[in-house]
Amino acid sequence: MPEPILTAVATALATKAAQGLYELVKRKFSKDEKAVATLESATPDNPASIQALAERLDTESREDPAFAAELRTKFEVHQSASEGGVNNQVSHVAEGGKVVQARDVHGNISF
């Protein structure tokens, strides 16, 4: 049975709202079609699909401690941001060299 945190991760993944977390897991699962299908088919209204994803995350975490650590770190960042915190990350070179990092924007932004 997976740890409760993995069930919480699976639930966040099922909502597709945790983009960085979702991409991490999708990359990890990319060499296994069945694992990718488990990830992509998980939905918040289907508890069995979330449980299946949590079990898969548990297996992968046990086999790859580095993945487990990164998964937990990204989940904590997601949780912090969803609870009102702000987490801005720029992981690629911005085309044109301009980046806006903001939380609440009311109106236009221009350079």
Does 5 have pLDDT greater than 90? Answer: no
Domain ranges of the chain: 4-97
- Residue 105: φ, ψ to 5°: -120, 125
Give residue-wise pLDDT tens across range 85-103: 455 555 556 566 666 666 5
Which amino acid, one-letter code, is at 78? H
How confident is the model at residue 104, as a pLDDT?
65
The tokens of 47 are what? Answer: 């508890």
Give residue-wise pLDDT tens across range 66-91: 999 999 988 888 776 555 545 555 55
Q: Identify which has the larger pLDDT, 55 or 17.
A: 55
